[in-house]
Amino acid sequence: MKQLENKVAIITGAGSGIGKSTALLFATEGAKVIVSDINETHGDAVVKEIISKGGEAVFVKADSSKPEDNETLVKKAIEAFGSVDIAVNNAGIGGPLGVTGEYPLDGWQKVIDINLSGVFYGLRYQLPAMINKGGSIINIASILGNTGTRFSPAYVAAKHGVVGLTKAAALEYADKKIRINAVGPGYIKTPLVEKSLDKNALDALVNLHPIGRLGEAEEIAELILWLASSKSSFVTGAYYPADGGYLAQ
């Protein structure tokens, strides 16, 4: 039997990167997937790929920073497949770079709205949909949810917030058969990273990871799958780095 047979999963930011890899893996493991993204073209492409391989998926365009879009995602999942069993709150942005004393106010607000408030809004509507039967929610934080870095105060603050929010919610719902965990990816090799950095910058990034390379989105998806499945049935309120040794230094 497949690990997520007949489970219904919402994945935000599923049009590319970690979200896309997770959507494809979940579908392979039997989940019915709500593919959500702000980019309709990318989201539709993921759905078509899932269906072409015999899986089930629908695309719902959504902006995770809007409460009403998160509410709609849950409603659409129930309309399409009858329930919500799993949610992966993955959508996020890097935001502008700058020292804290000069950081753009609009940049701060946008990063917080998407990376932190977006996770809260997801939980706000996903949890009531799971309350009678249980479920698993995975919030995608970052290694920067556990440590700091220069020039990204909004991102660091938001990801620390995601880890704290995950723990608080996990305690509230532990006796209701809803498990809530966070994943902290290191730097992952995505098209965005490869296109935005030159070779020297990429090499410097690689050198931050003792394992000697960047992570692959598929590797993070495997951890998310474990947390979504019954194999992690005694795990809740946890923060799991997947970072090639970055935080061990």
Residues marked as catalytic: 155
d(CA 71, CA 87): 13
Distance CA 221, CA 51 (A): 19
DSSP 116-179: IIHHHHHHHHHHHHHTTT-EEEEEE--GGGTS--TT-HHHHHHHHHHHHHHHHHHHHHGGGTEE
Q: Cα 26 from chain centroid?
A: 13
Q: Are strands 188-189 and 56-61 parallel, antiparallel or unpaired?
A: unpaired
Q: At what angle do helices 153-173 and 118-130 cross, to 10 degrees?
A: 20
Alpha helices by DSSP H, the chain = 17-28, 40-52, 67-81, 105-111, 118-130, 153-173, 191-196, 199-207, 217-228
